[in-house]
Amino acid sequence: MSVDISVKIGGEAGQGIQTVGDILARVCLKCGLYLMAINDFESRIRGGHSFFQIRISDKPVNAPNHSINLLLALDKKSFDLHEKELVKGGISLMEEVDAPAKKNIIAIPFFELAKESGGKITSNIVAAGACLALLGAPFGIIREVITEGFASKGEDIVEKNLNAAKAGYESVGKISFKFAFKWKASRPRGILIDGSRAIALGALAADCRFAAFYPMSPATGIMAHLASAANEFPLVVEQAEDEISAVNMIIGASFAGARAMTATSGGGFCLMTEGLGLSGITETPIVIVNAQRPGPATGMATRTAQADLLFAINASQDEFPRFIFAPGSPAEAFETTARAFHLAEKYQVPAIILVDQYLNDSLFIAGKALKVPGKVKKFIVSDTDMKNPSEYKRYALTNSGISPRAIPCNGRAIVMVSGNEHKEDGHSSESAQTRTEMVNKRNAKLSGMLSGMNPPETYFPESKILLAGWGSTKGAIREAVEILRKDGINAGCVNFSDLWPFPAAETKKAFLTCEKFYMVEQNSTAQLGRLIKEQTALSYSGAVLKYDGRPFYPVEIADGIKKYMR
Amino acid sequence: MVNIKDYDSDVENKWCPGCGNFGILAAMKDALAAQGIPPEKILIISGIGQAAKTPHYLKCNLFHALHGRALPLATGAKIANHELTILVNSGDGDCYGEGGNHFMHAVRRNIDVTLLVHNNKVYGLTKGQASPTSDEGMITKIQSDGVLSETFNPLSVALALGAGFVARSFSGKTEHLSKIIQEGIKHKGFSLIDILQPCVSFNSVNTFDWYRKRVYDLFEEGYIPDDFNKAMELSRMWGDKIPIGIIYQKEKPSYTDKIKKLIENTLISGKYSQEKVRNAIESL
C-alpha cells in the first residue's frame, strides 16, 4: 500500500488551525509516517483566512501537493475557496451549520459537540478528532499526543481536550473514506522541525552568544526559538529599537568576542546594509539571516519569495568579501547556520543566510540526526599567541588576507578597529597605497572562502535536461524531476545552497553534459540564472518562475518544464 | 600608576587649530589616568564626525564605527563583556541627529557606558550646516533663512527618558570636565555628558569667550543633583547663565546588572555545552 494524501485545514486566524495541524503532524510522526506541512496565513491576528496543509506519506515527502484528499473547513469560506482542490473521492469535513447540501461533505456539529465535551473553545479539537477518525488513525495515539501537548496546562485542560477529541472521533461513526489507511504505532522517521527552529538550533550548535533583532515576519520565529532556549545557554537575545541598531549591536558583541547573529526579512535587511559594510571593512564576523518575503518595501509580510539573491550579493556600497548561503531544508538550515558562524569567524567576514517564509514556517521531517559538535573551534588570538603584544596590528597584511584577530581589553595587545579605511594598526588612513593594499587584503580572502563552499547538489546529473534552483525549492524541484522522468522526460536537477563566493568551476561541471538547463526560482527575473550566466557564461534555456507569494507545487514545475518540451 | 603620557598617540591630529575638541581630549586623558585605567583596559567607541576621531588621538582600544551608530555598537560590546570600561565619543549631529533613536534607547536600557557628546551646535566635518542643537534662527549656507526647527535639548530628553546620570561640562574647563568624566565612569549605568564645545571654524556665536562669561559650576553653588524636578528646570536654563556639572544622578541597576546569567560570568567567558544543544534538539 502506498500512502500519499494531503489534508487541508482552513479557517479564520484565531480558530486554532495550528493546534489541529500540530496534532495531526504528531500523530503521523508517532505512527512512523513521513509528512510535510505548509502554513498559509494573512498578516492579521484574528479573522481572514488561513490554512495548514499537511501531506502524509509512507515515503519521504519534501514539498506540498497541489491537490488535497481531505478538506477540514472550520469556516464556510475555507470550503468555498478550496473545494475545487479536492481530488476525485476527496471529501470535505465541516461544521454542520455551515455545510451546503452537497455530495462529498461530512457535516459535524463541531461547536455543539465541543460545548458538551471539552467546552466551546475546543471545537478545533473536536474537528481534529473527526479528521483523524476519517483517516483511520487509532485513538490511542491521539490520546498520547493530546496528553503530551497539553500537559503543561494542567490535568483539567488535558481532560477537556481529550473529551473533545473523543467526541469528534466518535462523531464520524462508521463513515468510510476512500483515502483512509491503516495506521500503527511505530518509530518516528526523524524529528519534526521547521526552518526557524533549525536555524536557532544551528546557532546554538555554533556557540552563538548574542542575538539582536527587530521583529519582522517571517524571521521572528528564529529569535523566538533562541529566546526560549536562552536560559539554558550563555546567550543573550536583545530586541533592538530597529534593524540598524540590531546589526550594530551584533558587530559590537562580535568585536568584543561573542559570536553574534541577527535575523530579519528583506526590509530589515535593507536597513542593515550599512552595518553589513561596517562588518566588511572592519572584518568583524557576523551572521545575518534574511528570511525572504515578497517585496519591495512591505510587500507581503506572511508570504514567501526568493528575490533577494542578487541584492544580498551586492548589498552595501563598494566591494568586500561575504558568504551567501541558501539551505534547501531544515536539516540543511541547521548545518548551514553552524557552518556560517564557523566560516564567518574563520575569514572575519559577514555571512548571510537566505531562507524564506516557506522554509521557516513549514514543517518537515529531518531524517538524519542533527550533528552537534563536541567542541566549537574559535579563531581569536590573545597575548600568548603573539611575539610582542604591544606591537599588535589588527589589520596586519598576510598572504591569506586574514589577520590574527584579538579582542579588546584582553591583555597588552591594543585592538583598534575603524570603519574608515585604515592602516595595519587600525588607524584611519587616506593613503592611496594603504587603500589599495587593504582592498587587496580583504579580497585575498576570497580564494580561501571559495574552497569552503559546497558544490551544488545534483539529482540525475547525467540527464539531457537539468532543472536548476536554489534554497528552499530543492524538495519541490526534485519531486518535479521524478514526475518528469515518470512521464518519459530525461530530466535531472542541480540545487544550489552555497551561492557566494560563487562556485563557478563546480557549476560548469554540473552543467557540462546536459543539453539544456532551466531555472526554477521564486522571483520574476531568474536571479540565479543571471548569476550563473555572469559567472560561467552558461545560459539557461528557459525558466519556471513563481512570484505570487506562494510556494511551488512540484507539478507546477513539471508542467512549466513540459511547455518547453513541446 | 598610570601616567597621562601613557595615553599619547602618534597619530597626526586633524582638528582645526584652537578646536574645542582639544580640551575634551586633554580631560579624557586626565580622567583615565586619575582613575588608574591603563590604555589597554579602556575601550573607546565612536561614530562619525570630528568628535568621533577622538579615540585615534589617545592610546586605547577603539572602534571607530558608523555615523550615529556608536551606542548600539557599545551596547553589543558591553553585553558581550560587561567588565569592559567603555567611553563613547560622539557629536551633536552624530548622537542627537543620525543616532537620535539609538540615543533614546540607550538611555532607556541604562547600559553602563559613558557617553561624551562634543556639542558644538553645528556640523563641523561637513562644513557648517545646522545641527539638532543649533539655535533656532541660526544662519548657515544651507539654512540661509535661519534654522526653522526648535533646538534639541539633550539634557531634558535624557531626564525625561529616565537617565541616571545627566551632566554638562565645558571644553574650556578641562579640570571640571575631567572630574565629570571620572564621575561618569564611576557611575553604574548610562552616563550622559553633554560637553559645550566651541567650533572655531563654523560657530561664531558660541565661542570660548561666550561660554566663559555664562557657565557656572553647580557643585560650587552647593547643588545636590538628586531632585528630578529641579534637574529638569536646570536642563532648560540657557542664556545669560548656563549651569555645568552633574545635573541629575540616581543609581539603579544597569542593563547588564538585570541579566541574571551575567552576575557570575561575562557572556564571552561562558562555556559551550554539546549536551545542552543535544537536549534542545531532543526536546522537539
The answer on A216 and A253 residing in a single domain is: yes
Give residues 389 to 408 of A whose Cβ lies within 8 Å of B. Answer: 407-408
The beta-carbon neighbor of A232 closest among B53, B104, B276 is B276
The answer on A104 and A181 residing in a single domain is: yes
Q: Dihedral angle at the C-alpha atoms of A548, A553, A557, A559, nearest 10 degrees?
A: -100
3-class SS of residue A180 = coil
Beta-carbon contacts of residue A343 (< 8 Å; ≥ 6 apart): A323, A349, A351, A449, A452
Q: Does residue A61 belong to any structural domain of this protein? A: yes
**CA atoms of B162 and B170, how far apart (whole Å):** 23
State the nearest Cα–Cα gap between B185 and chain A, in angstroms.
Answer: 16
Which pLDDT does position A1 carry in this prediction? 59
Radius of gyration (Cα) for chain B, nearest Å? 20
The answer on A86 and A153 residing in a single domain is: yes
The answer on A491 and A434 residing in a single domain is: no
Cβ contact A408–B43 (<8 Å): yes
Cβ contact A210–B79 (<8 Å): yes
Pairs of residues, one from chain A and one from chain B, whose beta carbons lie less than 8 Å apart = 183
Specify whether the CB–CB gap between B28 and B58 falls below 8 A: yes
Best of B6, B41, B73 to disrupt the A interface (most A CBs within 10 Å) is B73
The answer on A236 and A356 residing in a single domain is: yes
The answer on A360 and A247 residing in a single domain is: yes
Q: Does residue A371 belong to any structural domain of this protein? A: no
Beta-carbon contacts of residue B113 (< 8 Å; ≥ 6 apart): B45, B71, B74, B75, B78, B86, B87, B88, B106, B190, B191
Q: Does residue A243 belong to any structural domain of this protein? A: yes
Continuous H helices in A83-214: 110-116, 123-135, 139-150, 155-171, 195-205
Q: Residue B271: list chain A partners with CB under 8 A.
A: 234
Beta bridge partners of B43: B61, B86
Q: Does residue A375 belong to any structural domain of this protein? A: no
State the nearest Cα–Cα gap between A346 and chain B, in angstroms.
Answer: 17
The answer on A429 and A465 residing in a single domain is: no
**CA atoms of A157 and A482, how far apart (whole Å):** 45
Specify whether the CB–CB gap between B249 and B187 falls below 8 A: yes
- Is any Cβ of chain B less than 8 angstroms from the Cβ of A233? yes
**What's the total number of domains in chain A?**
4
Among A418, A434, A450, which residue terminates a domain? A450
HEC string of A310-351? HHHHHCCCCCCCCEEECCCCHHHHHHHHHHHHHHHHHHCCEE
Integer angstrom CA distances of residue B212 from A340, B118, B208: 56, 17, 6
Which pLDDT does position A45 carry in this prediction? 85
**CA atoms of A41 and A218, how far apart (whole Å):** 11
Tens digit of each residue's pLDDT (9 = 90 or more) over B218-273: 999 999 999 999 999 999 999 999 999 999 999 999 999 999 999 999 999 999 99
Q: Does residue A168 belong to any structural domain of this protein? A: yes
Best of A236, A370, A377 to disrupt the B interface (most B CBs within 10 Å) is A236
Q: Does residue A373 belong to any structural domain of this protein? A: no
Among A339, A366, A393, which residue terminates a domain? A366
Give the count of alpha carbons within 13 A of B132, CB side only: 18
Which pLDDT does position B191 carry in this prediction? 98
Which pLDDT does position A128 carry in this prediction? 97
According to DSSP, the β-strands at A498-500 and A323-325 are antiparallel
Cβ contact B281–A370 (<8 Å): yes
Cβ contact B268–A246 (<8 Å): no
Specify whether the CB–CB gap between A287 and A337 falls below 8 A: yes
Tens digit of each residue's pLDDT (9 = 90 or more) over A503-557: 999 999 999 999 999 999 999 999 999 999 999 999 999 999 999 999 999 999 9
A243-255 vs A266-282: helix crossing angle, rounded to 10: 30
Q: Residue A425: list chain B partners with CB under 8 A.
A: none
Tens digit of each residue's pLDDT (9 = 90 or more) over B125-166: 899 999 999 999 999 999 999 999 999 999 999 999 999 999
Q: Residue A427: list chain B partners with CB under 8 A.
A: 11, 56
Tens digit of each residue's pLDDT (9 = 90 or more) over A212-230: 999 999 999 999 999 999 9
Q: Does residue A374 belong to any structural domain of this protein? A: no
The answer on A356 and A223 residing in a single domain is: yes
Specify whether the CB–CB gap between B130 and B140 falls below 8 A: yes
Cβ contact B270–A209 (<8 Å): yes
Provide the CATH number for the domain around residue A249: 3.40.50.970
Q: Within a 10 A sphere around the Cβ of A158, how many other Cβ atoms?
A: 18
Q: Which domain holds residue A431?
A: 380-450
C-alpha cell at A395: 589589520
State the nearest Cα–Cα gap between B256 and chain A, in angstroms.
Answer: 10
The answer on A42 and A180 residing in a single domain is: yes
The beta-carbon neighbor of B66 closest among A233, A260, A274 is A274
Integer angstrom CA distances of residue A42 from A321, B14, B119: 37, 55, 48
Burial B206-237 (b: 16+ CB within 10 A, else e): bebeebeebbeebeeeebebeeeeebbebbee
Among A147, A167, A187, which residue terminates a domain? A187
The answer on A248 and A361 residing in a single domain is: yes
Segments of chain A scoring below 50 in pLDDT: none
The answer on A355 and A273 residing in a single domain is: yes
The beta-carbon neighbor of B69 closest among A231, A248, A414 is A248
The beta-carbon neighbor of B63 closest among A250, A413, A417 is A417
Q: Does residue A485 belong to any structural domain of this protein? A: yes
With 0.90 as the threshold, say if the pTM is over it: yes
Q: Residue B13: list chain A partners with CB under 8 A.
A: none
Continuous H helices in A242-293: 243-255, 266-282
Domains defined along chain B, listed by start: 4-282 (3.40.50.970)
Q: Residue A412: list chain B partners with CB under 8 A.
A: 40
Provide the CATH number for the domain around residue A181: 3.40.920.10
3-class SS of residue B133 = coil
* pLDDT at residue B83 is higher than 90: yes
Beta-carbon contacts of residue A221 (< 8 Å; ≥ 6 apart): A194, A196, A197, A360, A361
The answer on A442 and A464 residing in a single domain is: no
State the nearest Cα–Cα gap between B65 and chain A, in angstroms.
Answer: 5
Beta-carbon contacts of residue A476 (< 8 Å; ≥ 6 apart): A62, A63, A64, A520, A551, A552, A553, A554, A557
